[in-house]
């Protein structure tokens, strides 16, 4: 028996799925709005019903996060995402303006290549399938290698529900033989209309260089500024709960507290009461060496882990009651690894006197690793809130809310999504929470509303003696010269 190279299997599977999705999408593009909505509702219900099982499966397969929290994310990515898009028209004329006589007609992009992360695998698959199919696209999911089984199970579950509700077979696909070569083949395949990439910086760069339209969303290094005007009890409760949620694998999770000096000591007491454990300098050094490699890359073995697990890896002792670990910092940049994005239960802590110097620290953190992503502010002083809103190079700013749940749209009125754009500042094409409107184009039909200028209707004239371009004689001479050159060659 001849062993077939895994890369070749992955490439062939990517090609086959892209073709299958294209063939099914050509049929699906002719579906009416009622058919589209019936299929999407069936998929959302099936995914919601399996939220607990798939959340547990994702946690067991990847080793990241908390099963109960993944269940909540799955419920959000199925039920809440569907409720946020179910009334959006995606078939035929979706907008019309009688005054301007302009009609907007929805037009699907074709087949979506959906790259998904290991940190939020099943919930991201649910989210991307729903918004893709609602926009009348086909989809091929390319999961992270460490989350293949849970992603395949999620996609297959939704695909079965879709076919039973009337969708063509082959519309929804998920690669099970994953390799870099296979994912590259998928992204560059001629039938892929758009790439929707959620994951690390390398993945996003690859998506943007594939020669296709791409929505790539990168890392967030989210600061949480706590002003002297804040409700400190609420801020402490939210910050600890948000950082501990699913062991901090959502990119909008707070990565550092920036505390206004007059309230810093009280805030410390309050977060400690919520389960934050402040580590000392020696413990912090051990944690630096555990969380990050010398080149600044995060150690994947530390992602989405409990404080106790991290402590055991680092050879330090922390209480069993600790929900998160907090480390005091005074620098931002490569010389301080813990000022980077930490997709685990470790939170930086900075202090400065006044919102202006606190603002500067927030800017440093954003520029170091979270350009364009998100920022959280806890304050009641509207002047300070507006100063932050106007000044920060981020496209989501949560006010008195949890970063984790607020920025994805669970506890705010932001569009529900697990794909959070970082805009031009962050190297992405959009700063939006990516949803169904990003996955279809608009054709515009416009009736004449004013007559053309009379000058446009009159024939033009060439000034006497003026010839534009070579004359017929010059063209004939050039042809004759070329023929002679060929004959004598």
Q: How confident is the model at residue 1 (pLDDT cuts 50, 70, 90)?
A: very low
pLDDT tens for residues 365-392? 999 988 999 999 999 999 999 999 998 8
CA angle 444, 448, 452 (to 5 degrees): 125
What is the DSSP secondary-structure string of 2-41? PPPPHHHHHHHHHHHHHHHHHHHHHHHTT--HHHHHHHHH
> Do residues 101 and 446 make contact, with C-beta atoms less than 8 angstroms apart?
yes
Flag whether pLDDT at 485 surpasses 80.
Answer: no
Q: What is the model's pTM?
A: 0.91
Flag whether pLDDT at 180 surpasses 70.
Answer: yes
Minimum mean pLDDT among 72-76, 152-156, 385-389: which range? 385-389
> Do residues 195 and 215 make contact, with C-beta atoms less than 8 angstroms apart?
yes
- Here the tokens at position 434 are 């990516």
Same fold, 6-218+435-443 and 222-411: no
| Residue 72 CA, distance from chain mean position | 18
Average pLDDT score over the chain: 94
CA–CA separation, 412 vs 405, rounded Å?
8
- For residue 103, give the H/E element and its range: strand 102-108
What is the DSSP secondary-structure string of 135-148? TT-EEEEE--GGGH
Flag whether pLDDT at 68 surpasses 70.
Answer: yes
Characterize the bridge pairing of strands 440-446 and 324-328.
Answer: unpaired
For the domain covering 6-218+435-443, report its CATH number. 3.40.605.10
Q: How confident is the model at residue 32 (pLDDT cuts 50, 70, 90)?
A: very high
Q: In DSSP terms, which residues pair with 215 in a beta bridge?
A: 196
Sequence ranges of the domains in the chain: 6-218+435-443, 222-411
251 is an active site residue: yes
CA–CA separation, 127 vs 68, rounded Å?
18
Q: Which residues, at least 6 apart from 305, have a Cβ–Cβ distance to it below 8 Å?
A: 63, 64, 247, 313, 344, 345
What percent of the chain shows pLDDT beyond 90?
A: 84
Q: Which residues, at least 6 apart from 205, have a Cβ–Cβ distance to it below 8 Å?
A: 216
CA–CA separation, 218 vs 152, rounded Å?
23
pLDDT tens for residues 202-242? 777 888 888 899 998 878 899 999 999 999 999 999 999 99
Q: Which residues, at least 6 apart from 477, have a Cβ–Cβ distance to it below 8 Å?
A: none
- Here the tokens at position 185 are 């083949």
Cα Rg of the chain (Å, integer): 27
Q: How is residue 473 annotated by DSSP?
A: H
pLDDT tens for residues 248-277? 999 999 999 999 999 999 999 999 999 999
Which candidate in 40, 174, 251, 362 is catalytic?
A: 251
Flag whether pLDDT at 468 surpasses 70.
Answer: no
Helix (H, G, I), strand (E, B) or coil at 228: coil
- Tell me the average pLDDT across 92-113: 96
Q: In DSSP terms, which residues pair with 378 in a beta bridge?
A: 226
Characterize the bridge pairing of strands 102-108 and 440-446.
Answer: antiparallel
Question: How many Cβ atoms sit within 10 Å of the Cβ of residue 2?
Answer: 3
- Here the tokens at position 323 are 């929900």
For the domain covering 222-411, report its CATH number. 3.40.309.10
CA–CA separation, 399 vs 376, rounded Å?
6
- Here the tokens at position 405 are 């749940």
Helix 232-244 crosses helix 261-273 at what angle (to 10 degrees)? 50
- Here the tokens at position 455 are 């000058």
> Do residues 429 and 395 make contact, with C-beta atoms less than 8 angstroms apart?
no
């Amino acid at each position: 028996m001849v062993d077939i190279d895994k890369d070749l299997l992955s490439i062939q599977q990517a090609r086959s799925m892209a073709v299958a999705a294209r063939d099914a999408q050509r049929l699906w593009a002719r579906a009416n709005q009622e058919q589209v909505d019936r299929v999407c509702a069936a998929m959302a219900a099936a995914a919601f019903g399996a939220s607990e099982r798939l959340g547990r499966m994702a946690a067991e397969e990847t080793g990241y996060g908390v099963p109960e929290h993944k269940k909540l994310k799955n419920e959000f990515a199925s039920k809440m995402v569907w409720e946020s898009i179910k009334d959006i028209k995606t078939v035929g004329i979706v907008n019309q303006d009688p005054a301007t006589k302009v009609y907007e007609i929805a037009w699907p992009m074709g087949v979506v290549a959906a790259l998904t992360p290991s940190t939020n695998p099943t919930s991201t698959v649910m989210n991307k399938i729903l918004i893709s199919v609602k926009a009348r696209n086909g989809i091929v999911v390319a999961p992270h290698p460490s989350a293949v089984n849970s992603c395949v199970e999620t996609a297959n579950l939704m695909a079965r529900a879709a076919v039973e509700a009337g969708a063509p077979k082959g519309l929804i696909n998920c690669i099970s033989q994953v390799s870099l070569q296979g994912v590259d083949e998928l992204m560059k395949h001629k039938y892929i209309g758009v790439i929707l990439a959620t994951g690390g910086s390398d993945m996003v760069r690859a998506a943007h260089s594939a020669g296709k339209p791409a929505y790539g969303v990168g890392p967030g290094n989210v600061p949480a500024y706590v002003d002297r005007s804040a409700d400190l009890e609420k801020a402490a409760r939210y910050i600890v709960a948000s950082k501990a949620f699913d062991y901090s694998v959502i990119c909008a999770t707070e990565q550092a507290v920036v505390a206004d000096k007059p309230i810093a000591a009280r805030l410390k007491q309050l977060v400690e009461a919520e389960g934050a454990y402040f580590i000392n300098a020696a413990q912090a050094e051990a944690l630096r060496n555990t969380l990050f490699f010398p080149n600044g890359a995060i150690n994947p073995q530390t992602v989405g882990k409990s404080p106790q697990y991290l402590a055991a890896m680092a050879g330090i002792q922390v209480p069993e009651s600790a929900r998160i670990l907090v480390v005091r910092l005074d620098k931002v940049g490569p010389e301080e690894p813990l000022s980077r994005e930490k997709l685990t239960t470790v939170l930086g802590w900075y202090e400065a006197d006044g919102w202006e110097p606190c603002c500067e620290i927030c800017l440093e953190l954003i520029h170091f690793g979270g350009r364009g992503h998100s920022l959280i502010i806890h304050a009641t002083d509207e002047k300070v809130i507006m100063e932050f809103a106007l000044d920060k190079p981020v496209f989501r700013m949560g006010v008195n809310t949890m970063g984790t749940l607020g920025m994805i749209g669970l506890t705010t009125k932001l569009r529900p999504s697990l794909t959070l754009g970082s805009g031009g500042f962050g190297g992405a094409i959009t700063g939006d929470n990516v949803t169904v409107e990003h996955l279809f184009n608009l054709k515009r039909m416009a009736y004449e509303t004013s007559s053309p200028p009379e000058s446009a209707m009159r024939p033009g004239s060439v000034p006497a003696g003026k010839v534009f371009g070579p004359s017929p004689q010059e063209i004939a001479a050039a042809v004759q010269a070329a023929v002679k050159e060929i004959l004598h060659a």
